[in-house]
Structure 1
Amino acid sequence: MQEKNDQIIRTDYAEIMQKSYIDYAMSVIIARALPDVRDGLKPVQRRTLYDMYELGIRYDRPYRKCARIVGDTMGKYHPHGDSSIYEALVVMAQEFKKGQTLVDGHGNFGSIEGDGAAAMRYTEARLQKLTQEVYLADLDKNVVDFIPNFDETEKEPEVLPVKIPNLLVNGADGIAVGMATSIPPHNLGEVIDGVKAYMKNNDITTKGLMRYIKGPDFPTGGIVVNQDELRKIYETGSGKIRLRGKVEIEKAKGGRLHLVITEIPYTMIGANIGKFLNDVATLVESKKTTDILDISNQSSKEGIRIVLELRRDTDVDNLVNMLYKKTRLEDTFGVNMLAVADGRPETLSLKQVVEHHVEFQFEIANRKYRTLLDKELEKKEVQEGLMKAVDVIDLIIEILRGSKNQQQVKKCLTTGETEGIRFKSKASQKAAAQLRFTERQATAILEMRLYRLIGLEMEALLKEHEATLEHIAKYEDLLNNYDSMAQAIMNELDAVKKEFGRKRRTALENAQEAVFEEKKIEEMEVWFLMDRFGYVKTIDRQTYERNKENACSESKYLFSCMNTDRICIFTDAGRMHAVKVLDIPLVKFRDKGVPVDNLSNYNSQEEQILYVAGMEELKHSQLLFATQKAMLKQVSGQEFDVTKRTIMATKLTEGDKVIFVAPSDAMEYVVLQSTQGYFLRFLKQEVPEKKKGAIGVRGMRLGEQDQLEHAYLLEGHTEYTIEYKEKKLTLNRLRLAKRDTKGTKSRA
């Protein structure tokens, strides 16, 4: 029952949907798909690494089962399913995907050729030394804020205190709602040099930064071939990088050459290696090249090695250019440097990424050294209290012996309150009243052990005090002096570069666009044959002449065409599938051929072939279409002269299908036959010419439950007889009527 104070708030449904969708989109963008510009990590990566840190799975300790890591991460920090966590863990361990791996994997973590990792119950992992020392160090020094986890039972870092621009070093990719990020990996040493250059000169330009950060450095190597375009990409945060694989020529036995691919474009990793091999095989099968005798993938853990065995007289440069043009040996990497900056998604330039990183470094360094300074000041306070206490140790002992409890002693040490304490003399009581230790000092004095009164221990305390004063001076200098802090950050970066830096793998150059001369196809006449099972083949003219009778009796479709032509296949689904004649095997007459399904998008399980013709012949003719619902139209063959493999040949209404397609140029009459036995003959000129995207006009008025079964095209003076219900029916003798009438019911 509704209370009197309750009010119904009327809201536009569109507004609710808009707000809800925006909330959902921002949740995906911020909390899942995009990395934070500060640590370059997505939430799932950050939480997985932090969980490993919390579990103590360090680089110098034994590996732990991935299932344990995934389960703990999901239970504490990332309640979005185990597969996403394990996938993130696997990627962070794959050397061929990351500029610097963050996880040390033990077991099967997949391969560069697209093999998946073993199940998480089999694999093990631990943190890399880099991750522990550069990504997770100083978490105990209040360098970043901790926030509640999803159920507020744990705390997790809002961001990791990463000391290098991980967004550049490891790159990032992710698809959010309405936006996506794609950042290439870079060389660790170069990025560190770029950061240092910015810290020395905040006004440095992108061009200036690129003297240090020269361009992407992919773990798979390869060659960036549009070096001059990188500056614009780094200035705008988006663009396209052209990548090529690295190719070497080796001499084999017998004077033959081997073309060896030793590095691949970054975009080829995974299933695209297999696609590349298939593309090369297709080039050979389609006779685009006859220079390749064999292809083998000899890749191993040592690296990529794809070998193409070539003919002796091969024009290698032309073949390599063909591979660049026709396969993924040259590919494009789309750059979109989108990341979460200041809580919102933003496309960043190279300089902006470095700016955000340096700002973050100063923030965590200030918090770190502020925390360390506070600890040293506490130590200084305690040390000074202990040194002062040694000088009056006899008095302190007298206070201790004359007091009733610890609170009475503490009060005396901090405020000089002597009431209730028994002293040996008035002088001692007067001296005790002068004591003014701090609370922290009083606690330290009460906890002090007697052995600290030994002379050597006192010397150690004095030395410790001197070291503390040095630390305080150092930390205060760092916190109050920008140059000192900057130098400290740069020193840390130098140490990281020295220990973890490596040579550049990806070459940068400006290469000309791949141009190759395609071998001209020798044009010749062939005969196309398709049997009733949908197997197709071509034979040369001489073979056809020798087997003419058998070819006619065994083939459902048979006609001559040029080998440069295309075959057009019309189906009852209203589609036209095109097949290049060169893709159809040229064989001996008794060879079976191949199913047309294998050469086109035609699916024999879903559609039926109604008409087949060569494109060149079709361009000069006109086709009549008839559908089950008696819709008719004529279409010029020019409409079908397109390069696409599949197009809609006619538009169909729901539940309709094509029953007849045939050339209508030399014909004069159309005869329609319905399933209930109605026949209608009318002049072909009553069927208008339409575009292929049109439905057409009604050819016959059909009764309920009736539909068109057959259509016929008749010449003017040639009799055409069919067998209908075991009787012969001459179609030319049917009464001539008008289109869109009911027709005459056959008495047969």
Structure 2
Amino acid sequence: MSQNESEQIIRTEYSDVMKKSYIDYAMSVIVSRALPDVRDGLKPVQRRTLYDMYELGIRYDRPYRKCARIVGDTMGKYHPHGDSSIYEALVVMAQDFKKGMVMVDGHGNFGSIEGDGAAAMRYTEARLAKVTQEAFLADLDKDIVNFVPNFDETEKEPEVLPVRFPNLLVNGAEGIAVGMATSIPTHNLGEVIDAVKAYMKNNAISTRQLMKYLKGPDFPTGGIVVNQDDLLQIYETGSGKIKLRGKVEIEDLKGGKKRLVITEIPYTMIGSGIGKFLNDVCALVETKKTSDIVDISNQSSKEGIRIVIDLKKDADVENLTNMLYKKTKLEDTFGVNMLAVADGKPETMGLKKIIEYHVDFQFEITTRKYRTLLAKEQEKREVQEGLIKACDVIDLIIEILRGSRSVKDARACLMYGITDEITFKSKTSEKMAKLLSFTERQATAILEMRLYRLIGLEIEALQKEHEETIRKIERYEKILNDYDEMSAVIIDDLNKLKKEYAVKRRTLLENAEEAVYEEKKIEEQEVICLVDRFGYARTVDPSVYERNQEAADAESRYIIRCMNTGKLCLFTAEGRMHQIKVLDIPHGKFRDKGLPVDNISNFDSTEEHIVTLMNESDLEGEFLLFATKDGLVKQVAGSEFLVSKRTTAATKLQEGDEVRAVLPMNGQDFAVLQTENGYFLKFPAEDVSEKKKGALGIRGIRLQKKDAVESAYVFAEGTETKAVYKEKEISLNRLKTGKRDTSGVKQRA
């Protein structure tokens, strides 16, 4: 075969191939990974894990089995996408703080509400929860759902589980697919069942009427929904925002003191959110947003959430509570997007649509169940009728069996009356045998019948069993042929589930007013800002600085007197200015370490270098001298830097140039530029032109080859000012005054 014949090259547009491949990938993620099915409310990984546990026989009334065994079996048979995703799904199904109703009974460390992870799968054990076995996996042997081949077509798995209640609503769902995401809150089982029953009794029911039964979300962490009036719109459209608050109780202590106790948290605070809340409350105290808090402690345990905030005497409790709602995640938003796979496609559904899909699914699986049961009872009836008829002519049947040479001959006689190969005692018997016409199933039952069935009581029991079978057939046919009868069966199942598994509502629904608090005015006072050579900043009281002045001066790179309500301006070599609120700088004892400047501003020490730090209030009416590495200088009005932005451009720079000095000019008569090679140029300050911050400077000094400005100085006439060059002290005021834009004088080391 030639090369041309063996290869088939298909020429096609590359973008078309990419588009088709991406769409295929996206749909695979949407349908097979990230989104739940509206019928059972489960993602494929959850469905496969539960089914595998059912197949392994890990039932609620049997011993726990290692999670590693469950995960390995699920991965090998049904879900070849990695063990971590399977174990994570298994863990979540066992966490009562994430699910409205746990589907897996976990034994061991399955994580905590505070964000602690579960132990490794080799340490933990699990089994099916009772509700999962009874409401998710029951009747799978009755052909009520379709089974499809697994990934390698060596096993069969259910396309969907026959869940008896709308699990999509009860347990909610979260998932991120390609270009879409689902976020469905959890609901109360009893309320959901009542809503389903109401829909079945009146298919034309409105969402508003359904909400008389299903009043709103019910989160496992409790909390308070504070925008109840928005729920109707959310349930009609399938999307919106729910505002959640934690539950705060007030406890009275001795001496007139009070404490706030948070006993329930918003569902969105689960995990690391609790630790962040504690840090946020500490930050409110550190930044002096409130002075009412004395202490905060997390006393949560297995019994529930308990976060205690101790308050000062006469603290404004209501104002502080509102501050917590406004400034922390104690009030948060849960974004609702009720997206699920319906009829093989992703669809955003309202409450009524989800219930409608569920009810249609219940009628489908109930129909299939009772068709299977009816077929079995009809087979039973056929066999029972054959046995009853056989008992009436038992002597003839015994004669046929004794006269037959093989089972085949006996079966042919029983079914078709063929007597050619059978020896009879009399012609009458043969004549009667020719009249027999049992069905194949009846003939097999007769041939397999044991002699004890001929006892009188056994025959009587057979007749009673036949009557019971007839009653069942009539019952099943009635259910299958009458909508109201089938509805009654479904509703009866729902009532049993509600009676056994429903719990009281945990989340309170109300329309609360917007949290408004009065921010306490900060008492204005003078502080000293100290920044060490490592860039750590802190503020101390002036009295503290004065007591430790010698140490402070030796250890600090910058020492700035400022008001605690003011701002500092940080100028960088890269030509930017960053603002720092003094309140953001930690205030405390002299030996406190402080915080890196990076943490309290936009300054990035990995990419930028500090040139100077000054008090913003000192810039009003001031002019600043900018000197760059390439020898450019200019004066800029300080008012140009009184801006609200946290970061702004301080000056324009040529490529490769850097700012080397930013100095206040008011009252200064001379400027001195010092180069790396030891050239000093002293010239009148008035020779430096005033320019805008967005302009380049003018040349201040003519640089020799491979030289650059190292630093700059300004001073007034008659003032003793010194600089150090290679450990030699140089008196700047004694330098000869030259002209700007000259080379300066070389100083010898």
TM norm structure 1: 0.89
Q: Does 1:200 align with 2:201?
A: yes
Shift of 1:579: 2.9
Shift of 1:431: 2.4
**Given that residues 361 and 489 in structure 1 are in contact (C-alpha distance below 8 angstroms), is that contact kept between their aligned partners in structure 2?**
yes
Q: Does 1:613 align with 2:614?
A: yes
* 1:662–1:396 distance in 2 versus 1, CA, 3 Å: same
Q: Which residue of 1 aligns with 2:385?
A: 384
SS of residue paired to 1:4: helix
Q: Does 1:329 align with 2:333?
A: no
The letter for the 1-side match of 2:160 is V
Q: Which residue of 2 aligns with 1:368?
A: 369
Q: Which residue of 2 aligns with 1:517?
A: 518
* 1:586–1:56 distance in 2 versus 1, CA, 3 Å: closer
**Which stretch has the larger CA shift, 45-54 or 7-16?**
7-16
SS of residue paired to 1:408: helix
Question: CA–CA distance in 2 between the matches of 1:425 and 1:629?
Answer: 133
The letter for the 1-side match of 2:662 is A
Shift of 1:640: 6.1
Question: CA–CA distance in 2 between the matches of 1:147 and 1:636?
Answer: 77
**Given that residues 527 and 561 in structure 2 are in contact (C-alpha distance below 8 angstroms), is that contact kept between their aligned partners in structure 1?**
yes
* Cα-to-partner distance string for 1:384-415 (whole Å, 9 max, x where unaligned): 11112222222222222222222222222222
SS of residue paired to 2:428: helix
The letter for the 2-side match of 1:579 is I
Question: CA–CA distance in 2 between the matches of 1:439 and 1:661?
Answer: 107
Q: Which residue of 1 aligns with 2:694?
A: 690
SS of residue paired to 2:94: coil
Shift of 1:551: 6.3
SS of residue paired to 2:409: helix
SS of residue paired to 1:162: coil
Question: CA–CA distance in 2 between the matches of 1:643 and 1:447?
Answer: 96
**Given that residues 59 and 133 in structure 2 are in contact (C-alpha distance below 8 angstroms), is that contact kept between their aligned partners in structure 1?**
yes
Question: CA–CA distance in 2 between the matches of 1:3 and 1:570?
Answer: 70
**Given that residues 190 and 212 in structure 1 are in contact (C-alpha distance below 8 angstroms), is that contact kept between their aligned partners in structure 2?**
yes
**Given that residues 663 and 714 in structure 2 are in contact (C-alpha distance below 8 angstroms), is that contact kept between their aligned partners in structure 1?**
no
Residues 435-450 of structure 1: pairs in structure 2 closer than 5 A: 435-450=436-451
**Which stretch has the larger CA shift, 200-209 or 635-644?**
635-644
Shift of 1:323: 1.0
Question: CA–CA distance in 2 between the matches of 1:550 and 1:398?
Answer: 122
Q: Which residue of 1 aligns with 2:63?
A: 62
**Given that residues 74 and 85 in structure 1 are in contact (C-alpha distance below 8 angstroms), is that contact kept between their aligned partners in structure 2?**
yes
Cα RMSD of the aligned pairs, angstroms, is 3.6
Shift of 1:16: 2.2
* Cα-to-partner distance string for 1:11-66 (whole Å, 9 max, x where unaligned): 23222222222222221111111111111111111111111111111111111111
Question: CA–CA distance in 2 between the matches of 1:486 and 1:453?
Answer: 43
Q: Which residue of 1 aligns with 2:660?
A: 660
Shift of 1:702: 12
Shift of 1:425: 3.0
SS of residue paired to 2:17: helix
Q: Which residue of 2 aligns with 1:93?
A: 94
* 1:97–1:704 distance in 2 versus 1, CA, 3 Å: farther
Question: CA–CA distance in 2 between the matches of 1:522 and 1:735?
Answer: 48
Question: CA–CA distance in 2 between the matches of 1:353 and 1:290?
Answer: 49
Residues 632-671 of structure 1: pairs in structure 2 closer than 5 A: 658-660=658-660, 662=662
The letter for the 1-side match of 2:475 is K
* 1:16–1:592 distance in 2 versus 1, CA, 3 Å: closer
Shift of 1:152: 1.2
The letter for the 2-side match of 1:388 is K
Question: CA–CA distance in 2 between the matches of 1:697 and 1:411?
Answer: 116
**Which stretch has the larger CA shift, 389-398 or 24-33?**
389-398
Shift of 1:165: 0.5
Shift of 1:598: 5.3
Shift of 1:680: 10
Shift of 1:582: 1.9
SS of residue paired to 1:185: coil
Q: Which residue of 2 aligns with 1:532?
A: 533
Match of 2:738 among 709, 733, 737: 733
Q: Which residue of 1 aligns with 2:113?
A: 112
Q: Does 1:506 align with 2:507?
A: yes
Question: CA–CA distance in 2 between the matches of 1:194 and 1:220?
Answer: 23
* 1:558–1:332 distance in 2 versus 1, CA, 3 Å: same
Q: Which residue of 1 aligns with 2:183?
A: 182
Shift of 1:512: 0.4
* 1:411–1:186 distance in 2 versus 1, CA, 3 Å: same
Question: CA–CA distance in 1 between the matches of 2:707 and 2:54?
Answer: 73
Q: Which residue of 2 aligns with 1:485?
A: 486
Q: Which residue of 2 aligns with 1:253?
A: 254
Question: CA–CA distance in 2 between the matches of 1:37 and 1:640?
Answer: 58
Question: CA–CA distance in 2 between the matches of 1:558 and 1:183?
Answer: 55
SS of residue paired to 1:612: strand
Shift of 1:548: 7.6
Number of aligned positions between the proteins: 738
**Given that residues 669 and 717 in structure 2 are in contact (C-alpha distance below 8 angstroms), is that contact kept between their aligned partners in structure 1?**
no
Shift of 1:530: 2.5
Q: Which residue of 2 aligns with 1:310?
A: 311
Gaps of 5+ in 1: 738-742
Q: Which residue of 1 aligns with 2:405?
A: 404
**Given that residues 67 and 124 in structure 2 are in contact (C-alpha distance below 8 angstroms), is that contact kept between their aligned partners in structure 1?**
yes
* 1:484–1:589 distance in 2 versus 1, CA, 3 Å: closer
The letter for the 1-side match of 2:694 is K
Residues 111-190 of structure 1: pairs in structure 2 closer than 5 A: 111-190=112-191
**Which stretch has the larger CA shift, 580-589 or 519-528?**
580-589
SS of residue paired to 1:733: coil
Question: CA–CA distance in 1 between the matches of 2:22 and 2:639?
Answer: 47
**Given that residues 700 and 741 in structure 2 are in contact (C-alpha distance below 8 angstroms), is that contact kept between their aligned partners in structure 1?**
no
SS of residue paired to 1:140: helix
Question: CA–CA distance in 2 between the matches of 1:209 and 1:170?
Answer: 19
SS of residue paired to 1:290: coil
Q: Which residue of 2 aligns with 1:740?
A: none
**Given that residues 633 and 698 in structure 2 are in contact (C-alpha distance below 8 angstroms), is that contact kept between their aligned partners in structure 1?**
yes
**Given that residues 659 and 709 in structure 1 are in contact (C-alpha distance below 8 angstroms), is that contact kept between their aligned partners in structure 2?**
no
Q: Which residue of 2 aligns with 1:269?
A: 270
The letter for the 1-side match of 2:738 is R
Q: Which residue of 1 aligns with 2:351?
A: 350
* 1:434–1:622 distance in 2 versus 1, CA, 3 Å: farther
Question: CA–CA distance in 1 between the matches of 2:39 and 2:630?
Answer: 65
Question: CA–CA distance in 2 between the matches of 1:631 and 1:718?
Answer: 26
**Given that residues 673 and 713 in structure 2 are in contact (C-alpha distance below 8 angstroms), is that contact kept between their aligned partners in structure 1?**
no
**Which stretch has the larger CA shift, 546-555 or 411-420?**
546-555
Question: CA–CA distance in 1 between the matches of 2:127 and 2:544?
Answer: 69
**Given that residues 222 and 505 in structure 1 are in contact (C-alpha distance below 8 angstroms), is that contact kept between their aligned partners in structure 2?**
yes
SS of residue paired to 1:3: helix
Question: CA–CA distance in 2 between the matches of 1:152 and 1:733?
Answer: 92
**Given that residues 222 and 243 in structure 1 are in contact (C-alpha distance below 8 angstroms), is that contact kept between their aligned partners in structure 2?**
yes
Question: CA–CA distance in 2 between the matches of 1:610 and 1:140?
Answer: 78
* Cα-to-partner distance string for 1:521-578 (whole Å, 9 max, x where unaligned): 1223334332334343334556668888886676432333322112233344666544
Shift of 1:90: 1.1
Gaps of 5+ in 2: none
* Cα-to-partner distance string for 1:90-141 (whole Å, 9 max, x where unaligned): 1111111111011111111111111111121111111111000001101111
Question: CA–CA distance in 2 between the matches of 1:309 and 1:398?
Answer: 97
The letter for the 1-side match of 2:116 is D
Question: CA–CA distance in 1 between the matches of 2:426 and 2:268?
Answer: 89
**Which stretch has the larger CA shift, 44-53 or 518-527?**
518-527
Q: Does 1:244 align with 2:245?
A: yes
Shift of 1:69: 1.0
**Which stretch has the larger CA shift, 207-216 or 583-592?**
583-592
Question: CA–CA distance in 2 between the matches of 1:735 and 1:273?
Answer: 62
* Cα-to-partner distance string for 1:217-256 (whole Å, 9 max, x where unaligned): 0111111111011111111111111111111111223332
**Given that residues 75 and 81 in structure 2 are in contact (C-alpha distance below 8 angstroms), is that contact kept between their aligned partners in structure 1?**
yes
**Which stretch has the larger CA shift, 385-394 or 49-58?**
385-394
**Given that residues 722 and 731 in structure 1 are in contact (C-alpha distance below 8 angstroms), is that contact kept between their aligned partners in structure 2?**
no
**Given that residues 526 and 541 in structure 1 are in contact (C-alpha distance below 8 angstroms), is that contact kept between their aligned partners in structure 2?**
yes
Question: CA–CA distance in 1 between the matches of 2:651 and 2:44?
Answer: 51
Question: CA–CA distance in 2 between the matches of 1:338 and 1:639?
Answer: 52
Shift of 1:429: 2.7
Shift of 1:428: 2.6
Identical pairs, percent: 66
* 1:681–1:136 distance in 2 versus 1, CA, 3 Å: farther
* Cα-to-partner distance string for 1:447-493 (whole Å, 9 max, x where unaligned): 11111111111111111111111111111111111111111100000
SS of residue paired to 1:61: coil
Question: CA–CA distance in 1 between the matches of 2:654 and 2:34?
Answer: 42
